[in-house]
Amino acid sequence: MESSLHAQVEQGTALPLMEAFYTLQGEGYHKGSAAYFIRIGGCDVGCHWCDVKESWDAEKHPPTRIDSIVEEAKKYSDTIVITGGEPLMWDMAPLTAALQAAGMKIHIETSGAYSITGHWDWFCLSPKKNKLPTAEAAARADELKVIVYNKDDFRFAEEQAKTVGEDCVLYLQPEWSKRDQMMPLMVDYVLANPKWKVSLQTHKYLKIP
């Protein structure tokens, strides 16, 4: 990486952009709503079932100046979703400030394993056993989304639910490859524990990004 661009990435004025696209939010609280997704490269959480493993190595994704990212985003939507990878590995303050100056609402999807930077209109916390969220992230969460891969994830979900605020919306979401096995268990669990809601990856059923 060119040294000047590396410095900009360190400062958050450029970011390793993997991809950006306009689609429907497929998961959680805002499912079905149009949004422009900005996927930032780099992640060391290492979920074995991750469906975007190509995002993990930040060096594979070109450092892109945030003014360019924002100009492109303005063409599509006033709702922006920052995802990864793990976006909080980077300083999100410059990007969120620029997006908000352009009048956009900004959502984040994060494991919460890193310190929070940036200003967020909606904070979706998706905690992972490999690298637990910080207390700061749990306190900030508007939405808790726990991926259910096996039965132990129900236990993990309850542990994480104890760390978030009382207004945080709680979701269980089946890991895609295990959905047929886990969805009946999730239905029974939510019926017995109605504080939880089921989230599905509706974009995959709709065959959109």
Domain spans in the chain, listed from the N-terminal domain onward: 3-206
Task: Give the phi and the psi of residue 184 in degrees, each rounded to 5.
Answer: -60, -35
Sites in the chain below the pLDDT cut of 50 = 1
In this structure, what token pair is assigned to residue 117? 């930077």
3-state secondary structure (DSSP) of residue 33: coil
The pLDDT of residue 198: 98
The class that CATH gives domain 3-206 is: alpha beta
Q: Give the model confidence (pLDDT) of 28-82 as tens digits.
A: 999 999 999 999 999 999 888 898 999 999 999 999 999 999 999 999 999 999 9
